[in-house]
Amino acid sequence: MASGHFQVEAALLMLPLVMLVLNSGGGSAAGAVVPAVIVFGDSTVDTGNNNHIGTTLRSDFPPYGRDMPGGARATGRFGNGRLPPDFISEALGLPPLVPAYLDPAYGIGDFARGVCFASAGTGVDNATAGVLSVIPLWKEVEYYKEYQLRLRAYAGAERARAIVRGALHVVSIGTNDFLENYYMLGTGRFAEYTVAEFSDFLVAGARRFLSEIHRLGARRVTFAGLAAIGCLPLERAENMIHGGGCIEEYNRVAREYNAKVEAMLGGLRAELPDLRLAYVPVYDTMLDLVTNPAKFGLENVEEGCCATGRFEMGFMCNDEAPMTCADADKFLFWDAFHPTQKVNRIMANHTIDICYQQGLL
């Protein structure tokens, strides 16, 4: 009986992806509608850029990638398999993996159909990227400019412009600004700003970023809000003195930040009417997963699958770590910070639904 329930649940999770391909008329037609997926942000969407820079924040080793399609491969994705942009790309009739821009295994022919500039550990605040020496958001934009020059040389000016304008730009960033930067105290931002002022600072930075990529040609953009960051296993572990529950202060900050982001996006839409800009309410989706796990076939929403699941991520989540779970599909989190491939598919489905509802697709 349980097995049947999970099969039905899996089928339901796939529906938005299937419907998108059907409505687009199959792979070739979908590719014509959305020629590429272009990705900015942090580890939630980094498909391997950190493998190629001088940082300790990497995941190019087992058991990361153990459930990748075609067999275990640690690609630098922070999870047991694919990330949301990969699922979105596949649903649009594009390749099932979005290549990292710094990966020398790929060239401009690949990037013409999808490219990722994201870097695990980065944030809207430049100071966030400095904590673990990763790619700051401004540098992701510089790579985007360089990419467009290469694209023009490869496809011609007119086709390159059409690819960029038609592409779905996926942006997921912000968690590290709070958890790695503001609350870790190392950058000094906590002394410069109240948390509300810091939120305003970040929202203003996000607005400048979105205005800049619009100036460079982006016309279809999804922008993810913060998840319920107080419910990440790492934060629950820090809250053990109070029973290991979610840290409500962090969740409240996420909700307040998200409200400001939504307001900012509304203002930007009014200012730039040719920009189709969708807000993705990741907080609501995550809260649903945490409070209604059985609905999604999940059994553990408090700990990660890797090792003890309480604090391990990056180098602490490795092949020698004991206790790693056998079936990551039963878990919300893969390590103490990042979702499992199953949850990434759910997030991708919701993003696609929102794109339909708001006219991006």
Catalytic residue numbers read 43, 335, 338
Helix axes 341-357, 282-291, angle to 10 degrees: 130
Task: Measure CA 59 to chain center.
Answer: 15
* Alpha-helical segments (H) within the chain: 2-24, 27-33, 84-91, 108-111, 126-131, 137-155, 157-166, 175-176, 189-192, 195-215, 233-238, 248-271, 282-291, 341-357
Cα 41 to chain centroid, rounded = 7
Assign 263 to helix, strand or coil.
Answer: helix
- Compute the distance between CA of residue 344 and CA of residue 328 in angstroms, rounded to an integer: 12
Q: Are 82 and 96 in contact (CB under 8 A)?
A: yes
Residue 344: name the closest of 9, 13, 2, 12 by CA.
Answer: 13
* Crossing angle between the packed helical segments 341-357 and 84-91, to the nearest 10 degrees: 50
What backbone phi and psi angles, to 5 degrees, belong to 305?
-70, -35
Contact 189, 123 (CB under 8 A): no
